Chain A
Amino acid sequence: MNAGLFSRTIAVVVALLLAAPTIVIAATSFTSGVIITFPPKGFSMRWYEEIFGDRAWRDAFVTSFTTGILAAVIAMVIGTLLAFMAARGRLVPRSLVATLAMTPMIVPLVVAGIGFYMAYVHTSLYNHITSLALAHAMLGVPFCFLNVLAALTAVDPRVEEAASICGAGKLTVIATVTVPLVLPSAVAGGLFAFVTSWDEVVVATLLATPTLRTLPILFLSQLREGLEPSTSAAATVITLLTIVLLVIAGLLSRRQRGRST
């Protein structure tokens, strides 16, 4: 069952619109001029040489990446635990757990950002990467919570029962049956959490300190000054790198699956 010609045409046009900004940025990064023009003037790799030699970009990349991973891991753990609590816990009303887990998703960033800053500045977390990682993790919790909750509803309780009937202890059942069943969903949620953190600028700007400068913060300061081709180059490298990582991961997973079947 294939889609009709009309919708296919729309899809292709939209695809071009989606990709257009990225294409423009990639093209302008190879300009030999000092200002961004499109089409670019001449061809050169000078801006790539510049960013690879620039500490600020390298440091920001490391900070962004570390923050993103920390945030994703924290969000995965918290989101998963809350999902289990909502689905299977009996003490705390489920609605309470769900409200708590979902709120970060519906609070506009600028609102959350002010709150994070006003609260965290009073603690020793401030001026440390954990402050931003924790804040970003909170933004990622709803994704992980939802994904795991959805997976839990799909888990047939009889599978676990079967395992325990066969003599497995409770912890064994959790470790060998339940966790593997929901892990992919938790990781997918974590991926969303990572993206959220990776591209987040409002909260990051508020919590930024000399040692805590992420890529979006650099981008924003460049955007305010008028972008330079070096920014295009950095953005292109980052997009490419991210995609390459994902493709490698995809290939790895294919090979793993090939082995297991």
Chain B
Amino acid sequence: MMVKKLSVAMTALLLCLGLVACGGDDDSAAGGEGKLTFAGWGGTTQENIDKAWLQPYAKESGVAVTQDSPVDYGKVKQMVDAKNVIWDVFEAGSDFGLDENDSLTPMDCDIVACGDFDGGPIPLYKYGVPMFTFSVVLTYNTDALTQAPTSWADFFDTKKFPGKRAVYNGVPGALQGLLDTALIQDGVDPADLYPLDVDRALKKLDSIKDDIVFYSDFGQCTQLVGSGEAVMGNCYQGRDLTAMDEGQPIDFIWSGQVIYADYLMVPKGAPNQDEAMKLIAYITSAEHNGDFAKLQAYGPANPKTELSPDLAAKMPTSNVMPGADAPVIVDDKWWNDNLESVTQKWNAWAS
């Protein structure tokens, strides 16, 4: 009996397919002078990238921009190896080979204003131009804590600040900064951090291990702290600001922030390389690099970009504190060379 019902159910579904499939292909991408595909990490950030840069650029240049997400380094490599590349520009962290990488096309400094980045806080690499900066900051729940923490020392002080700490345990690249911070709190001079003493950093983290709540995606951090599931966490400042706007009981400190940048890269053999470089030039130009900051608190990476004072107040690079509160500077090259071994040690420690 059941079978008979199912068979008719299936037929009905098939009929629906006909309807949906016919109704589905009503519109194709508007044909312009050129086209290109941008891939980002997805989510709200990519929606804002679209609003701040991709749509205005498409309007201005007549180029049709399609989007994809999420970025996946393994996919980039496979596409390039198979010579079947469908991305022209993609967003990546500093953990995807910036100075040497067989899968990427070098930046064309005739099109991109590479000179703008000389001496800036975020370096430009052979295969990537930084698009925006953001930072990981000590975030805390304002309801759960009677006094506000003032530095990362308080993060490791479970007596004075009892409660759970949200700590990232997702993709390996994002461990950058946490180990650095642990070492600084263990007494290492920030100038002598590298090469990192991973074992010592993990030992320091051992002291709070019982109070750690691991999360696997940065979006969860703000949720964990905002809901009071954890009292502190190492969250993205941009998400914190959004949550604060929504009225969640959250605040954060700039002391010891870890500043990151996301980069724009072009896979080797991208179908529209020239268009790709032009889009990168547009996004990273002094004129447009700050457009994103109006939508989301991620700062411009181009040091020549100027922001209005109230926007600048939210950006990592305008909140650099002196002395012991200074931002943690991560050595990208060391991390790229040691990512696998560090991750192995970390996973062994965490699990």
Using a CB–CB distance below 8 Å, which chain A residues touch chain B? 34-35, 62, 65-66, 69, 72-73, 117-118, 121-122, 126-127, 183-185, 187-188, 190-191, 194, 205-206, 208-211, 221-226, 245-246, 248-250, 252-254, 256-257
Picked from A35, A62, A72, A187, the residue with its CB within 8 Å of the CB of B24 is: A62
Among residues of B, the one whose C-beta sits closest to the C-beta of A209 is B86
Picked from A65, A66, A118, A183, the residue with its CB within 8 Å of the CB of B7 is: A183
What are 7 A-to-B residue pairs whose CB atoms are below 8 Å?
Answer: A62-B21, A66-B24, A117-B78, A184-B3, A188-B3, A221-B43, A254-B5
**B340 CB–A CB distance under 8 Å:** no
Known contacts A224-B219, A225-B43, A225-B217; decide if A122 and B82 are in contact (CB<8 Å).
yes
**Which stretch of B67-75, B136-144, B275-283 is in the interface?**
B67-75
Residues A250 and B9 in contact, CB atoms below 8 Å apart: yes
CB distance from A251 to the nearest CB of B (A): 9
Residues A249 and B12 in contact, CB atoms below 8 Å apart: yes
**B66 CB–A CB distance under 8 Å:** yes
Complex Cα gap A179–B86 (Å): 43
Inter-chain contacts of A223 with B (CB < 8 A): 217
Residues A246 and B43 in contact, CB atoms below 8 Å apart: no
Using a CB–CB distance below 8 Å, which chain B residues touch chain A? 2-14, 16-17, 20-21, 23-24, 37, 39, 42-44, 66-70, 72, 75, 78-79, 82, 84, 86, 217, 219-220, 222-223, 226, 246, 248
CB distance from B228 to the nearest CB of A (A): 12
Inter-chain contacts of B23 with A (CB < 8 A): 62
Residues B84 and A122 in contact, CB atoms below 8 Å apart: yes
* Most chain B beta-carbon neighbours within 10 Å: one of A122, A184, A208, A226: A226
CB distance from A222 to the nearest CB of B (A): 7
Given contacts A65-B20, A126-B82, A187-B7, 7 further A-B contacts (CB under 8 A): A35-B223, A66-B17, A69-B17, A183-B7, A191-B6, A225-B43, A225-B44
Complex Cα gap A205–B68 (Å): 11
Picked from B9, B42, B78, the residue with its CB within 8 Å of the CB of A246 is: B9
Picked from A69, A122, A209, A248, the residue with its CB within 8 Å of the CB of B68 is: A209
Residues B9 and A249 in contact, CB atoms below 8 Å apart: yes
Known contacts A35-B248, A253-B7; decide if A66 and B68 are in contact (CB<8 Å).
no
Known contacts A184-B7, A252-B8; decide if A126 and B84 are in contact (CB<8 Å).
yes
> 6 nearest interchain CB pairs?
A249-B9, A253-B8, A187-B7, A226-B219, A184-B3, A225-B219
CB distance from A118 to the nearest CB of B (A): 6
Residues A245 and B16 in contact, CB atoms below 8 Å apart: yes
Inter-chain contacts of B86 with A (CB < 8 A): 126-127, 209-210
Inter-chain contacts of A66 with B (CB < 8 A): 17, 20-21, 24
Inter-chain contacts of A34 with B (CB < 8 A): 246
Picked from B10, B17, B68, B248, the residue with its CB within 8 Å of the CB of A187 is: B10
Complex Cα gap A190–B78 (Å): 32
Known contacts A210-B37, A245-B16; decide if A250 and B10 are in contact (CB<8 Å).
no
Inter-chain contacts of B9 with A (CB < 8 A): 187, 191, 245-246, 249-250, 253
Known contacts A226-B220, A226-B222; decide if A72 and B43 are in contact (CB<8 Å).
no
Complex Cα gap A127–B23 (Å): 21
Among residues of A, the one whose C-beta sits closest to the C-beta of B65 is A210
Complex Cα gap A193–B351 (Å): 36
Residues B84 and A121 in contact, CB atoms below 8 Å apart: yes
Picked from B8, B17, B68, B75, the residue with its CB within 8 Å of the CB of A65 is: B17
Residues A210 and B10 in contact, CB atoms below 8 Å apart: no
Inter-chain contacts of B5 with A (CB < 8 A): 249-250, 253-254
Complex Cα gap A72–B23 (Å): 20
Inter-chain contacts of B20 with A (CB < 8 A): 62, 65-66
Among residues of A, the one whose C-beta sits closest to the C-beta of B37 is A210
Inter-chain contacts of A205 with B (CB < 8 A): 70, 72
Residues A188 and B6 in contact, CB atoms below 8 Å apart: yes
Inter-chain contacts of B16 with A (CB < 8 A): 65, 245
Residues B4 and A257 in contact, CB atoms below 8 Å apart: yes
* Most chain B beta-carbon neighbours within 10 Å: one of A209, A222, A248: A209
Complex Cα gap A209–B66 (Å): 10
Complex Cα gap A187–B5 (Å): 10
Among residues of B, the one whose C-beta sits closest to the C-beta of A37 is B227
CB distance from A136 to the nearest CB of B (A): 14
Inter-chain contacts of B44 with A (CB < 8 A): 225
Picked from A206, A209, A226, the residue with its CB within 8 Å of the CB of B223 is: A226
Known contacts A66-B17, A69-B17, A210-B37; decide if A121 and B6 are in contact (CB<8 Å).
no
Complex Cα gap A88–B66 (Å): 50
Residues A222 and B43 in contact, CB atoms below 8 Å apart: yes
Complex Cα gap A18–B8 (Å): 26
Complex Cα gap A256–B10 (Å): 14
Among residues of B, the one whose C-beta sits closest to the C-beta of A121 is B82
Picked from A72, A117, A126, the residue with its CB within 8 Å of the CB of B10 is: A72
Complex Cα gap A126–B78 (Å): 12
